């Protein structure tokens, strides 16, 4: 029986060594711990399903241009939840559990769901924004708990607020907000 328990521990440890890392993708921990996302005026917070947020990530030190979208785009909340999206756990395939990564949040106006990615929003000239890339804490997964991107003890491991950039709309198409 003891050999079985030792084998089980070794298998769990080995699985943890190769597990993909995970983190908690949110920008609101509480009323006071919040990295809001603002419209171009820097005052109005983004609100509703016409806006998406998505995490971009890579191994620690990855250049911004090489970060890749991970997880699915998440719509923004409304009312008292404006400026934030619902919390979700995201897997980062290129970073193993226990390792740190480089992460970035990108947001965009999705034109009623027609623009499925940040890159599509840029190509169409839609409203968009992003925070500077920043280093994550060691990712969870396997047997480790996933960290968040806010409410971390070191400021460098936290997402800063985002102010969006106005998009250029095609002639005759007003910016819908």
Determine, yes or no, domain membership for 168.
Answer: no
Write out pLDDT tens, residues 66-119.
999 999 999 999 999 999 999 999 999 999 999 999 999 999 999 999 999 999
Determine, yes or no, domain membership for 7.
Answer: yes
* Dist CA 13 CA 143 (whole Å): 8
Determine, yes or no, domain membership for 121.
Answer: yes
Max avg pLDDT among 1-10, 15-24, 43-52: 43-52
Determine, yes or no, domain membership for 24.
Answer: yes
Q: Which residue, among 129, 174, 169, has the nearest Cα to 39 in the 3D structure?
A: 129
Determine, yes or no, domain membership for 14.
Answer: yes
Determine, yes or no, domain membership for 25.
Answer: yes
Q: Which residue, among 133, 125, 130, has the nearest Cα to 54 in the 3D structure?
A: 130
| Inter-residue contact 37 to 44 (CB < 8 Å) | no
Determine, yes or no, domain membership for 177.
Answer: no
State the pLDDT at residue 9: 43
* Dist CA 133 CA 139 (whole Å): 16
State the pLDDT at residue 154: 80
* Dist CA 43 CA 30 (whole Å): 19
Determine, yes or no, domain membership for 156.
Answer: yes
Residue 171 above 90 pLDDT? no
**Residue 159, Cα to own-chain centre: how many angstroms?**
9
Element (H, E) at 7: helix 2-17
Exposed (0-12), middle (13-18) or buried (19+): which is 80, by Cβ within 10 Å?
exposed
Confidence of residue 167 (pLDDT cuts 50, 70, 90): confident
Q: Where are the alpha helices (DSSP H) in 45-167?
A: 118-124
Q: Which residue, among 40, 21, 41, 62, has the nearest Cα to 128 in the 3D structure?
A: 40
Q: Provide the domain count of the chain.
A: 1
State the pLDDT at residue 1: 56
Lowest mean pLDDT, pick from 16-20, 32-36, 112-116, 159-163: 16-20
Residue 27 sits in which domain range? 2-163
CA angle 139, 152, 23 (to 5 degrees): 25
């Amino acid at each position: 029986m003891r050999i079985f328990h030792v084998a089980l521990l070794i298998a769990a440890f080995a699985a943890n060594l190769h597990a993909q890392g995970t983190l908690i993708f949110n920008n609101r921990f509480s009323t006071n711990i919040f990295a809001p996302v603002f419209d171009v005026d820097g005052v109005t917070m983004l609100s509703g399903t016409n806006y998406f947020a998505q995490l971009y990530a890579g191994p620690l030190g990855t250049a911004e241009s090489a970060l890749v979208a991970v997880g699915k785009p998440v719509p923004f909340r409304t009312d008292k939840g404006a400026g934030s999206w619902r919390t979700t756990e995201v897997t980062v395939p290129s970073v193993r559990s226990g390792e740190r990564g480089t992460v970035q949040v990108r947001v965009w106006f999705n034109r009623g769901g027609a623009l499925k990615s940040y890159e599509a929003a840029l190509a169409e000239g839609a409203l968009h924004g992003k925070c500077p890339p920043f280093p994550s804490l060691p990712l969870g997964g396997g047997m480790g708990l996933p960290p968040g991107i806010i409410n971390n003890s070191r400021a460098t491991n936290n997402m800063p607020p985002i102010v969006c950039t106005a998009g250029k709309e095609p002639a005759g198409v007003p910016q819908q907000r």
